[in-house]
Amino acid sequence: MGGGRRGGLPAHRLHPWPRRFPPGGGPDGGHPGRRPGASPGSGGWGMSSAVEAARTEEARQGGPPLPPLVLAGCGTVGGALLGLIREGRGSDDLVRSILVRDPARERPEPLPDPDGGRVVTRPSELPVEGGRVVVEALGGIRPALGLARRTLAGGGTFITANKSLVAEHGTELEALAAKSGGRLAFEAAVGGGMPVVRLLRDLPDAARVRRIEGILNGTSNYLLDELHAGRSWSEALQSARALGYAEADPSRDVDGRDAADKIRLLAWVAFGVPPAHVRVTRRGILPDPEALVAEARALGGVVRLLARVDPPDGAGICRARVEPCLVPRDSPWADVRGADNRARVSTARAGTLSVSGPGAGGQATALSLLTDLGDEALRRAGGSGGLARPVFPVRTIVAPDPDSSRAEGHPAERWHLSLEGKIPGHPEIEVRPRLERILARADIRLVDVDRDSGRLRTVLETRHAPRVDLVGERLRALALEPRLLRLAER
């Protein structure tokens, strides 16, 4: 991306604050302020003369200072943000109040002095009213939703890493923000450290986004990678948990709900379609991920869980899909390893744009929160220096573009479908004639058929993806367990 005002990464992304001390640390030789209270005057509500001087220095150098903030949640992501703030500023004075469940819990980034009054445990105690900047890294709907409502109703800025919250309640929250002059920002909610929200937000409508595709769930990508490397599902899960990539219950990751939330958010930013109105068809890597990987191996490819969304069609309906796909071994999708993410934005006028990066992880996600905080600093600086620009423009719904409607605008696609050769429980009944009838009724072309050691391997072609889903349902009704992999483009 170029370095212009639109599309370029603002300078504050990499260096949010000029360093107050030369590399090598503060006056005592260590890094200033890593521990709370390490530098005089850094832990309280008042601003020390050192901090004042730093702000003056920042202002002199042209970058607006980050605003004071309230931090809801100080776990993996919130803790990493606190660490980055301490590292960048030399103190955590900017963080006025922190909400956690258990202040006594040991954590990699220690909380500020518990006697300083800045750490609270009840959401109602968190001072979010009065136009504050609130960074939410709690997760889940409650109490995050209540905090978001209070913040935005009071004209404040709510910066969140919480995709479920925005996917479920984004429209309501955005309406609150529009009414009160507040602001909702969620760069960190999609793709962790991969700046895909920013990429879409900064693209002018005139670029005409035709499709957004992505590997948006790092957990399932890691698990698939492990299976391709020859591990069993239980070994892969165990190592994903040990590395912090999978929670105790990873069902939202492996059944595609997490990726579905994220693709809804991208549709909102790109097309202005409220997340709740995006129709997502979802198939995760379950019920048998090992079989999917074996299938892909036999075909010389790799399985990836791809999400995609197209602009609203002629009837104004915005459709998205999340499904396991077969990608060539040498494709950029196969190159996305471990818990990384990748997104590809196809446009009519700006070619194809791609971003990739760590899809999760405390530091990477905290950097995205910091990016939104940097925007807030620019916004608060107003017109001074001409840096401020509109933030998260909620687009009016992009007018349906006849050329981009899915059936006509994209070439026919292919699916690999493999299934048992005989109807289960009826070894005398061949599946093939049944399959052919189902496909004929759905007007799906059968491009290739191969009978291999009792299984039927086929390639189907259609421009109408939902028909393939219907075929899958009909086959399951016959007690068959079809393995379906969309053959993705490179």
Ligand X SMILES: NC(=O)c1ccc[n+]([C@@H]2O[C@H](COP(=O)([O-])OP(=O)(O)OC[C@H]3O[C@@H](n4cnc5c(N)ncnc54)[C@H](OP(=O)(O)O)[C@@H]3O)[C@@H](O)[C@H]2O)c1
Residues binding ligand X (CB under 6 A): 73-78, 99-102, 105, 123, 137-139, 143, 161-162, 188, 192, 360-362, 365
Instruction: Give the residue with the Cβ less far from ligand X, 123 or 272.
Output: 123
- At its nearest, how many Å lie between ligand X and the CB of residue 111? 9
> How do beta strands 413-420 and 455-462 pair?
antiparallel
Instruction: Give the residue with the Cβ less far from ligand X, 346 or 356.
Output: 356
Q: What's the token pair of residue 2?
A: 């170029």
Q: HSE, CB side, 13 Å, CA atoms: give it for residue 260.
A: 22
d(CA 285, CA 268): 25
Q: Give the position of tokens 């399932």.
A: 220
- At its nearest, how many Å lie between ligand X and the CB of residue 339? 8
Q: Is 179 a catalytic residue?
A: no
Cβ count near 97 (within 10 Å): 21
Strands (E), 310-464: 319-328, 340-347, 352-358, 413-420, 422-423, 426-430, 445-452, 455-462
d(CA 90, CA 54): 10
Instruction: Give the residue with the Cβ less far from ligand X, 265 or 460.
Output: 265
Instruction: Give the residue with the Cβ less far from ligand X, 102 or 249.
Output: 102
Cβ neighbours of residue 53 closer than 8 Å, sequence gap 6 or more:
none
d(CA 300, CA 410): 25
The residue with its CB nearest to ligand X is: 75
H or E, element range at 136: strand 133-136
8 A C-beta contact, residue 461 and residue 468: no
- Cα 151 → chain centroid: 23
8 A C-beta contact, residue 322 and residue 486: no
What region, left, alpha or beta, does residue 425 occupy, with left being phi > 0 and alpha being psi -120 to 50 degrees?
Answer: left
Cβ neighbours of residue 400 closer than 8 Å, sequence gap 6 or more:
311, 312, 313, 314, 315, 316
Instruction: Give the residue with the Cβ less far from ligand X, 139 or 374.
Output: 139
Partners of 326 in beta bridges: 303, 487
Instruction: Give the residue with the Cβ less far from ligand X, 141 or 381.
Output: 141
- At its nearest, how many Å lie between ligand X and the CB of residue 160? 7
- At its nearest, how many Å lie between ligand X and the CB of residue 176? 19
- At its nearest, how many Å lie between ligand X and the CB of residue 244? 7
- At its nearest, how many Å lie between ligand X and the CB of residue 20? 28
8 A C-beta contact, residue 193 and residue 80: no
- At its nearest, how many Å lie between ligand X and the CB of residue 305? 17
Instruction: Give the residue with the Cβ less far from ligand X, 162 or 462.
Output: 162
Residue 475, burial from CB neighbour count under 10 angstroms (0-12, 13-18, 19+): buried
Instruction: Give the residue with the Cβ less far from ligand X, 302 or 369.
Output: 369
Q: Strand, helix or coil at 354?
A: strand
d(CA 119, CA 259): 33
- At its nearest, how many Å lie between ligand X and the CB of residue 430? 47
Q: Strand, helix or coil at 44?
A: coil
Q: Which of these is catalytic: 163, 179, 262, 422?
A: 262
Q: Which amino acid is at 117?
A: G
Q: Which residues are catalytic?
A: 262
